[in-house]
Amino acid sequence: MKRSAAAILAAGAVAIGSAALVLPQAFAAAEGCRVQYTVASQWQGGFQANVQITNLGDAISNWSLGFAFPNSAQRLTQGWNATWSQSGANVTATNVNWNGNLATNASASIGFTGSWSGSNPSPASFTLNGVACTGGVTNPTTGPTTGAPPTSPAVTTPPPPTGTTPVAINGQLRVCGVNLCNQYNRPIQLRGMSTHGIQWFGSCYNNNSLNALAGDWKADLFRVSMYVQEQGYETNPTAFTNQVNNLVDMATARGMYVLIDFHILTPGDPNYNLDRAKTFFAAVSSRHANKNNVIYEIANEPNGVSWGSIKSYAEQVIPVIRGNDPDGIVIVGTRGWSSLGVSEGGNETEVINNPVNAQNVMYAFHFYAASHQGNYRDAVSRAASRIPLFVTEFGTVDYTGSGPFDQASSTTWLNLLDSLKISYANWTFSDHTESSAALLPGTCNGSNYTGTGVLKASGQFIRSRIMTPDNFPTS
């Protein structure tokens, strides 16, 4: 917020229950290059493929990988770690600025999601900078073959959950198609609360309040909003990084997912804070790399800047996170205060047609129910079938964070998000005087955060929505 101050390929993978049976395939060349093409997962009408390129020739500083889909109905939908394009059946992936240099025997890992109908055969050949990657097929699991079908590795199914918290049930999350999926490869929705700026309301976040959020509210998600400007991170990077780390540990101890929000608002161009973002996310991703509950929101509300500039920022920050935490979900803010561009006269097509080149990426959408209604909901409805969305912030009031509680519009919004399994965090779990805050003023001076007696009308409504059963699928 805040005006006030405050985001298989290959017939060799088939769904078995909730698990995916992956049949890796590799295409090798005696000279030039080797490509290992691995089917990661497949669902009805969609798939994910990972591609590892190994340069077997002289060192190169830029590369372009080419292949053709055997089925004309197969379409590229989103890619990462390369710039992807498709013309007819032909697909091209070119390096991005940080992975273009490939020494002899060096590799680059890229990937994409796609759609299909009818059948979903794998590509038969690849080229690297125009040189064919041809030769015998090598199966990474069974060793060299002479073209015989690869054997199937054992299917690994996560064991049943042993705990009852959101993290104990769902484990490490990932993006599958347009959904946020749990360790059983099933789409889920997380529901929770966002802090206000921790520089102003740090006293609201303590053992009692987080116990209430996890136990009384039964929240799945805790968003930690660390402003960068406005008396935030830039004034004392070490202290604010430590404060964020402490809150992540507190949420982790209670079995909640935690979303680290790099809360940029003014100026609206995230590139203004690029160096700060790299420093901050290098620190927190290293600190929490072994946790399975941390989500990274790298740009809260970009505004007054093009989607291309936001995408460029994301593609420079994400590799910093991936260097420490290769599995963590990353959420990228969108144009127009994370409105998919709607608040600045655009729409979702700019993201759909030019997605971030990275894996396990989602796109942020924000709304304030009294201000953002029909055309914003229409944009979400359209976008949700094409790109993975996460409502990292929303309010039940107007866009300033104030004004009357709009229960009718808030209900319509949450019903829509529930129907689409889009996760959300409400602004805010704080005792700010503004009407968007859940807690009554002065609550954070005491020790009681449970029940409805400490809540404003908005807080009572949101608590009643969050505390209904999640029914997370585990099979």
Domains assigned to the chain: 13-144 (2.60.40.290), 166-466 (3.20.20.80)
- E strands within 62-154? 64-68, 75-80, 83-87, 90-94, 107-115, 126-128, 131-133, 138-139, 143-144
- Per the residue annotation, which of 297, 301, 348, 434 is the catalytic one? 301
pLDDT per position as a tens digit, 329-354: 999 999 999 999 999 999 999 999 99
Positions of E strands within 166-212: 174-176, 179-181, 191-194
Q: Is the sign of the CA dihedral 179, 185, 188, 193 positive or negative?
A: negative
Q: 241 vs 203, 244, 289, 330, CA distance in Å?
A: 16, 5, 15, 18
**Identity of residue 450:** T
Residue with tokens 């992807």: 84
Q: Is 31 a catalytic residue?
A: no
Q: What is the DSSP pairing of strand 64-68 with strand 126-128?
A: antiparallel
For this structure, is 434 an active site residue?
A: no
Beta-bridged to residue 138, according to DSSP, are 144
- Indicate which residue of 297, 348, 393, 434 is catalytic: 393
The pLDDT, as a whole number, for residue 44 is 64
Question: Whose CA is closest to 197, among 393, 54, 368?
Answer: 393
pLDDT in the model for residue 304: 97
Q: Which residues of the chain have pLDDT under 50?
A: 2-30, 135-155
Please, are residues 454 and 208 in contact by the beta-carbon 8 Å criterion? no
Separation of alpha carbons 430 and 274, rounded Å? 29
The CA-atom distances, in angstroms, between 5 and each of 44, 92, 228, 264, 343 are 45, 45, 12, 11, 19
pLDDT for residue 52? 83
